């Protein structure tokens, strides 16, 4: 995920159209394999202006039916979802041959970035923040999993990409789920291609990473990974190579949180381990069951509801600068496997070179030498191309701070290139910004 840390958006990058239909492009946020993302505004009379994010498909892909169809599928699914804990998509169209989505702009940070900054500041997120995030996400999934089409037909939605990068937290402590770019639903079910795995390896359920039939319980497993990492400060399945990550996620061996974070609350540990059961039948069967269990746990702790704890954390981790301006990320969910390796977005929205640095503030739960990259490339490879284990996987690592994450290894282009050849040949290669 590329983000821009700025309080006042800078002008659009050179060569970017200022006007795009009714939208005024303010700043390029990210560029990926087949789309650009922009901060934009809708302007009206008497100084009216509303900020939004525009996801615009690249011209070279606009006329390729598989790409355009999948982009339209994303719009169809997202447009059906209206929930306070889901990022709203409110417009979809085609201007000058370019498809686009217009979506809500969240003035805040992704959980991915919050975890990194918390590690740098040596501030454990702890059970309370974890429960707040879990309640919001389980509420969003309860709604999404139960959503029906206008005629009452079940949507049968499975998000398939529940990761810290797709959990956004506003400055006010509101938590929102983003990115329905690889969602599985009745809208696009008939277009699912056998032998293709979609998602991010370190957050896949065992059935997802082995390309078995999956349902909404897979999302609950992925959410369990996110909550495990947020509460312990430790990575669960991410290793220092893609191969080792795949093998760890496939095995699904989960050390109890209390083994990596001494003193971990037993009741919360029970909840997380139930989410992370290898057998879907042993997990929570619905997101509502998970939500209710988390709510009972919060009530037992006499914690108040609302986002005050998260808002306070945001203010601590991302304080105002010397001029009093609040640094916020123009949060753009999803990974970008098509972007240039070694580049990240700076305040101008253009690429900047990564500079290796050491860990300045490790998590208290593990030594810094075990730190690994929190980022995870999107998986889009035939299952037959999964590498075999060589027995060289590393131990689970701490959540690295932002500087360390930027300095870690690049995307494995060899495997991506091989996957690209296989998928383009079958007219389903789908590199996206999501």
Pairing mode, strands 196-200 and 378-382 = antiparallel
378: left (phi over 0), alpha (psi -120 to 50) or beta: beta
- Residues with Cβ < 8 Å from 115, sequence gap 6 or more? 125, 164, 229, 230, 233, 374, 399
CA distances from 323 to 37, 77, 117 (A): 28, 42, 21
String of b and e for 97-122 (b: at least 16 CB within 10 Å)?
ebbbbbbebbebbbbbbbbbbbbbee
Give helix 287-300 / helix 217-232 axis angle, nearest 10°: 30
Closest CA to 329 of 58, 86, 27, 79: 27
Active-site pick, 132, 161, 179, 373? 161
Q: Collapse the DSSP code of 330 into the 3-class scheme (helix H, G, I; strand E, B; otherwise coil) and give the result.
A: strand
Distance CA 57, CA 35 (A): 4
Residue 8 exposed, middle or buried by CB count within 10 Å (0-12, 13-18, 19+): exposed
Residue 257 CB coordination number (10 Å) = 26
Q: Collapse the DSSP code of 26 into the 3-class scheme (helix H, G, I; strand E, B; otherwise coil) and give the result.
A: strand
408 an active-site residue? Answer: no
Residue 356 tokens, joined: 């290796």
Which residues are designated catalytic?
Answer: 161
């Amino acid at each position: 995920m590329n983000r821009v840390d700025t309080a006042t958006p800078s002008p659009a990058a050179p060569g970017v159209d200022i006007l795009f239909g009714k939208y005024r492009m303010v700043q390029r946020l990210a560029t990926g394999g087949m789309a650009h993302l922009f901060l934009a505004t809708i302007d009206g009379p008497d100084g009216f202006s509303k900020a939004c994010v525009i996801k615009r498909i690249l011209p070279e892909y606009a006329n390729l039916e598989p790409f355009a169809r999948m982009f339209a599928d994303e719009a169809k699914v997202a447009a059906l979802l209206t929930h306070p804990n889901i990022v709203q998509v409110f417009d979809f169209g085609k201007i000058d041959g370019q498809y686009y989505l217009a979506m809500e702009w969240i003035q805040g940070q992704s959980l991915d970035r919050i975890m990194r900054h918390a590690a740098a500041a040596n501030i454990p997120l702890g059970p309370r923040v974890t429960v707040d995030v879990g309640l919001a996400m389980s509420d969003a999934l309860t709604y999404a999993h139960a959503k029906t089409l206008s005629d009452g037909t079940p949507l049968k939605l499975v998000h398939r990409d529940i990761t810290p990068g797709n959990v956004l937290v506003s400055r006010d402590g509101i938590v929102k789920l983003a990115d329905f770019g690889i969602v599985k639903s009745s809208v696009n079910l008939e277009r699912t291609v056998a032998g293709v795995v979609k998602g991010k390896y370190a957050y896949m359920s065992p059935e997802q990473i082995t390309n078995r039939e999956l349902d909404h319980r897979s999302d609950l497993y992925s959410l369990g990974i996110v909550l495990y990492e947020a509460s312990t400060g430790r990575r669960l399945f991410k290793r220092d190579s893609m191969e080792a990550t795949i093998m760890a996620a496939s095995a699904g061996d989960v050390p109890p949180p209390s083994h990596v974070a001494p003193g971990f609350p037993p009741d919360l540990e029970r909840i997380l381990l139930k989410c992370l059961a290898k057998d879907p039948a042993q997990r929570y069967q619905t997101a509502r069951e998970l939500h209710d269990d988390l709510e009972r746990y919060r009530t037992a702790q006499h914690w108040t509801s609302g986002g005050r704890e998260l808002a306070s954390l945001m203010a601590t981790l991302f304080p105002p600068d010397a001029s009093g301006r609040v640094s916020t990320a123009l949060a753009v969910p999803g990974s970008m496997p098509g972007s240039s390796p070694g580049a990240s977005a700076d305040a101008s929205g253009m690429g900047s070179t990564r500079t290796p640095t050491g860990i300045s503030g490790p998590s208290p739960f593990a030594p810094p030498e075990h730190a690994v990259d929190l980022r995870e490339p999107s998986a889009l490879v035939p299952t037959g191309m999964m590498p075999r284990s060589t027995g060289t996987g590393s131990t689970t690592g701490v959540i690295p701070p932002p500087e360390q994450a930027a300095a870690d290894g690049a995307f494995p282009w060899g495997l991506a290139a091989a996957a690209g050849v296989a998928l383009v040949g079958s007219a389903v290669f789908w590199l996206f910004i999501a």
